[in-house]
Amino acid sequence: MNTDIYQHYRSDEGVFIDLVFDWMQQVSNRYAPYTTVFLTPREAMIVDQLVRSSEELTASFSGGYVGAERQRAVIFPPYYEPGAQDYQLAYYNINFPTKFGELTHGRILGTLLSTGIDRERIGDIITDGESWHIIVDDSIGAYLQQNVRKIANVGVQLEEISAEALLESNETWEQRTVIASSLRLDTLLSNVYNFSRQRAKDAVSSGLVKVNFAEVDRPDIEIGVSDIVSLRKFGRFWIEEVEGVTKKDNYRLNVSVLER
């Protein structure tokens, strides 16, 4: 293992990097493919970079549809060609009486997690504005069907569907060029949403901000490429690329923004 590789990532990502190396070692030792849990975009980027540094292994990714936010990786040896079954995905439509209740992403995710399932076993939650579909680890599908009967007091039933029947998401990501003096969380929030850094700091301290789906309490943390930042009632954004530095030493960023 090349220990120098850690310096290219944040210190808090060391544990995940160790885990990826462990997955890679399993593939090398057993000469068989390994399917990861669902990864955030940032985690998927790290997996891709680390596996690419290996001369023998390859990684491919799928979250069930083109453009999926949360994806599973299959890490495999040279002889192997992964198929759809290797990603171990299951797809469900949430049947519910639309006249008597309304579902939201947060309510659905909260209910799934309340069953004791880890977040890393749940993929994207998709809506077209009316219906809702979820993508999960296929090993927990039957368990969820048995244990998820209500979401926020709305009676529901999970109906397994095929990948071909998945909804087309109504989410539209906008590409922007953002100029920022640093990659601090509060600075990026301020520049992306055009409000003051103090307001950004207040949003963080009020628990309104998440990074990679986890609530954060520090406005000064540095955001990297593929980190997903979400601000309640505003939406989400992530840095696709650091394009360069301006003459005034500001970062020029290619950012994808999803507004509510």
- What CATH code is assigned to 174-259? 3.10.290.10
SS3 content of the chain, % helix, strand, coil (to 5): 35, 30, 35
Contacts of 66 (CB under 8 A, 6+ apart): none
The residue whose two tokens read 């493919």 is 33
The predicted pLDDT at position 1 comes to 54
Do 44 and 71 form a contact (C-beta atoms < 8 A)?
A: yes
d(CA 200, CA 77): 45
The predicted pLDDT at position 169 comes to 81
Query: Helix (H, G, I), strand (E, B), or coil: what is residue 42?
Result: helix
The predicted pLDDT at position 2 comes to 58
Residue in 192, 182, 164, 191 with CA at minimum distance from that of residue 93? 164
The predicted pLDDT at position 213 comes to 86
Per-10-residue mean pLDDT for the chain, 260 residues long?
77 94 97 98 96 94 95 97 97 92 93 97 95 98 97 96 92 92 98 97 97 93 95 95 95 92
- Please report, for the chain, the start and end positions of each structural domain, with discontinuous segments joined by +: 3-82, 89-165, 174-259
Burial of 166 (0-12, 13-18, 19+ CB in 10 A): middle
d(CA 60, CA 170): 26
Fold exhibited by the domain 3-82: Ribosomal Protein S8; Chain: A, domain 1 (3.30.1370)
Instruction: Name the DSSP class of 85.
Output: G
Q: Do the first three CATH levels of 3-82 and 89-165 match, i.e. the same topology?
A: no
Query: How many C-beta atoms lie closer than 10 Å to residue 202's C-beta?
Result: 14
Q: Does CATH place domain 89-165 in 3.30.70.330?
A: yes
Do 180 and 246 form a contact (C-beta atoms < 8 A)?
A: no
